[in-house]
């Protein structure tokens, strides 16, 4: 039976934080975004509700949402289930550990197993909540790596670092997924959203692993940047991820084990990336935690004029904070210490605002 809501979407707008968010929620003028602490005051209703007329494209205050749409709007306020047993209530920091010779930012730095383990421990000491370990570069134009070589690169680091932290393996190959899970990884981060390897969903359905589904234009990093085009990039990415979440559920991977990633830089040009960041709350309708990875990417260099990826730290932290303000649950970053420090200041400012609002009342 066709889904009568298949061509509809509810996009949260009018975000508030701190004192303003708390006051608006208390006055029934806003709802928490995915459980908070941010709140939204308006929505854009996209499509046609079942049995109803087409909706206006203009923002609608929550008090004026038509009755058929109200359940979908209320659902935006619910917090997703905890992901991979990790704590909630604040943006988590995922440290990127590339055990590769050719990644765009840190290729070769951690190719030695001892260096990779030391780098992982350094990230954890700097405040990382989890680590994402990858053995295949997925930069634009990168050549594929056979699973056997990928496993040779990542498994020693996973075995050692899984003793100290929650580990995600960044792979699109089912054989690597299985070996990594057996070595202690608890999360699989697949840039193709389980489209690359037909055996991947079967491996994950039989496990208890959590899964990150990412949007990429096509399923090959070698071709993803060849003239990417979108009519509405934020809506198209959201609809793609909705389809992949539904597909994963049909394969036996429950939504409670899923997170989604809009894939900043994966088949997107500068305007697409900026639109995705600005409209990140549109993904709240999926009911899954949002992973956000903009660290050191090309668009930061384009905006800042910084050519070397390793020198894009300040821009990367700014992008991470923008993601956190728009509902990202997990920030995937190279620069852990700097991101943790920035998030601590952000949290203190927002807590101070909320406390100030309570005192004023």
User: CA dist 279 to 87, 157, 274, 322, Å?
Assistant: 25, 36, 9, 11
Q: Which residues contact 77 (CB under 8 A, 6 or more apart)?
A: 31, 32, 33, 34, 35
Phi-psi region of 197 (alpha: psi -120 to 50; beta: other; left: phi over 0): beta
Q: Which residues are catalytic?
A: 297, 332
pLDDT, one tens digit per residue, over 22-44 is 999 999 999 999 998 999 999 99
Degrees, nearest 5: CA angle 40-41-46: 85
Domain count, the chain: 2
Report pLDDT for 5.
Answer: 45
Report pLDDT for 355.
Answer: 54
> Residue 132: pLDDT above 60?
yes
Same domain, 143 and 26: no
User: Domain range spanning residue 168?
Assistant: 92-346
Report pLDDT for 218.
Answer: 77
Same domain, 51 and 171: no
**Mean per-residue pLDDT of the chain:** 90
| Main-chain dihedrals φ then ψ at residue 350, nearest 5 degrees | -65, -40
> Residue 296: pLDDT above 90?
yes
User: CA dist 290 to 105, 214, 354, Å?
Assistant: 23, 10, 24
Residue 345, class by beta-carbon neighbours within 10 Å (0-12 exposed, 13-18 middle, 19+ buried)?
Answer: exposed
pLDDT, one tens digit per residue, over 243-259 is 999 999 999 999 999 99
Same domain, 187 and 63: no
> Residue 354: pLDDT above 90?
no
Same domain, 163 and 282: yes
Same domain, 138 and 102: yes
> Residue 81: pLDDT above 50?
yes
pLDDT, one tens digit per residue, over 167-210 is 999 999 999 999 999 999 999 999 999 999 999 999 999 999 99
Q: Which residues contact 56 (CB under 8 A, 6 or more apart)?
A: 45
109-113, 257-261, 306-310: which has the minimum mean pLDDT? 109-113
Residue 124 lies in a domain: yes
When pLDDT is averaged across residues 119-136 and rounded to a whole number, the result is 97
What's this model's pTM, rounded to 2 decimal places?
0.92
> Residue 291: pLDDT above 80?
yes
């Amino acid at each position: 039976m066709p889904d009568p809501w298949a061509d509809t979407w509810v996009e949260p707008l009018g975000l508030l934080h701190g004192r303003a968010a708390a006051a608006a929620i208390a006055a029934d003028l806003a709802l928490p975004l995915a459980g908070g602490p941010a709140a939204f005051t308006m929505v854009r209703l996209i499509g046609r509700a079942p049995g109803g007329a087409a909706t206006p494209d203009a923002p609608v205050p929550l008090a004026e949402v038509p009755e058929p749409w109200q359940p979908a709007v209320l659902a935006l306020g619910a917090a997703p289930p905890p992901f991979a047993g990790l704590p909630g209530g604040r943006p988590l920091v995922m440290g990127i550990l590339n055990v590769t010779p050719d990644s765009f930012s840190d290729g070769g730095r951690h190719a030695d197993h001892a260096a990779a383990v030391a780098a992982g421990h350094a990230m954890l000491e700097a405040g990382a909540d989890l680590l994402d370990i990858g053995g295949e570069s997925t930069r634009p134009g990168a050549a594929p790596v056979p699973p056997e070589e990928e496993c040779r690169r990542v498994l020693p680091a996973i075995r050692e670092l899984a003793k100290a932290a929650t580990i995600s393996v960044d792979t699109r190959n089912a054989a690597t997924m299985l070996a990594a899970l057996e070595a202690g990884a608890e999360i699989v981060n697949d840039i193709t959203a389980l489209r690359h390897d037909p055996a991947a969903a079967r491996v994950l359905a039989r496990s208890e692993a959590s899964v990150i589904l990412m949007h990429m234009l096509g399923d090959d990093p070698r071709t993803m940047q060849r003239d990417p085009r979108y009519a509405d990039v934020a809506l198209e990415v959201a609809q793609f991820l909705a389809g992949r979440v539904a597909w994963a559920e049909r394969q036996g991977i429950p939504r409670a084990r899923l997170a989604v990633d809009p894939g900043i830089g994966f088949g997107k040009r500068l305007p697409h990336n900026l639109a995705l960041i600005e409209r990140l709350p549109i993904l709240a309708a999926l009911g899954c935690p949002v992973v956000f990875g903009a660290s050191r990417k090309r668009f930061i260099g384009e905006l800042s004029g910084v050519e070397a990826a390793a020198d894009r730290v300040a821009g990367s932290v700014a992008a991470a904070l923008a993601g956190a303000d728009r509902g990202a649950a997990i920030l995937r970053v190279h620069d852990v210490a700097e991101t943790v420090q920035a998030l601590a200041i952000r949290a203190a400012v927002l807590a101070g605002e909320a406390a100030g609002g309570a005192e004023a009342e």
